[in-house]
Amino acid sequence: MSIKSIRIGTRGSPLALAQASDVKARLISAHDDLSDQDIEIVVIKTSGDRILDRHLMTAGGKGLFTKEIEEALIDGDIDCAVHSSKDMPTTLPQGLILSTFLPREDIRDAFISPVSERLMDLPENAILGTASLRRRALALRMRPDLQVVTFRGNVQTRLKKLAAGEANATFLAVAGLNRLGMPETITEYLPLDMFPPAPAQGAVTIEIREDDENTRSLLTPLHCSKTALEVTAERSLLKALDGSCRTPIAGYAKLSDDKIDLYACLLSMDGKEIFEEKGSASADLENAAQLGNELGESIRNSAGEAFFQTLKEQIAAEFE
């Protein structure tokens, strides 16, 4: 296949650039007629990167990390976009698709602290920095005495805030630290049964124009069907629960042989209430999506609309 160049759109954080560079390297490895000069990484600053003075919930949520990149993709300024899957809204702009998922990294969360080796060993009333409602709720479920402050910014920014003493501990995704070559930063790997991850955590996805068969074909050798099945189930769960930055949702799928297992939970802001579901389905994309939807609907029904209304009011009172 002959092509003059490929333009990869990405955010400009060190982690985003590492992920885009990985895609570039994989493309060169997969195609003999592609060289370093044929692939351009185009950095696009998103609204989410610019807004650092308030919580994303007050500004629009997950789509703030993808809006400008997707606009560039629709306009033809780039040929594909590399994203962290957990940043992706469950509904994409018309004409765009997630065509490719790279092999998934570690899906766990990392606890990071200069004062304690374990989350459970933090001093009483310690300050925890996180902007994630899920991480906040899970931490408070285990340690209701903790004082939570909002930490925004990329990996390096949050680590600098921690080093400056703005908090006693924080959480980051293990996958991101591994991709940045910073596993030594991790104080404790949080087990899945105690601290389940965000849906789609650890998975890098590539977005393209649906009608761009050339780019789709170039990306085909990079695609991991196992990751695609797991993330499909998890994103379907999110969609059923109207998942966003405004909802403390955790969940993960695991593919084994010809079966996909999915765990899902919804928490209250303080972690005192939790609604959990587990389920399994045969391993194909349609069944994975149906499984995620069924578990999400079951959790929504168990929690009731009053729960979501209370959650909305609590968030408005604290962040808006």
Q: Any idea which residues carry the catalytic annotation?
A: 87
Spatial distance between the Cα atoms of 317 and 311, rounded to a whole number of angstroms? 10
Nearest to 18 by CA among 156, 183, 179: 179
Spatial distance between the Cα atoms of 152 and 148, rounded to a whole number of angstroms? 13
Q: Residue 107 is encoded by which pair of tokens?
A: 């899906």
Nearest to 259 by CA among 284, 234, 292: 284
- Dihedral sign computed on CA atoms, order 283, 108, 24, 30: negative
Spatial distance between the Cα atoms of 43 and 59, rounded to a whole number of angstroms? 22
Measured CA to CA in angstroms, residue 38 lies from 44, 206, 226, 259, 264 at distances of 19, 18, 29, 40, 42
The amino acid present at 8, given as its one-letter code, is: I
Nearest to 15 by CA among 203, 207, 153, 179: 179
Cβ atoms of 253 and 262 closer than 8 Å: yes
Spatial distance between the Cα atoms of 207 and 109, rounded to a whole number of angstroms? 25
Measured CA to CA in angstroms, residue 205 lies from 1, 18, 123, 265, 279 at distances of 23, 13, 39, 23, 25
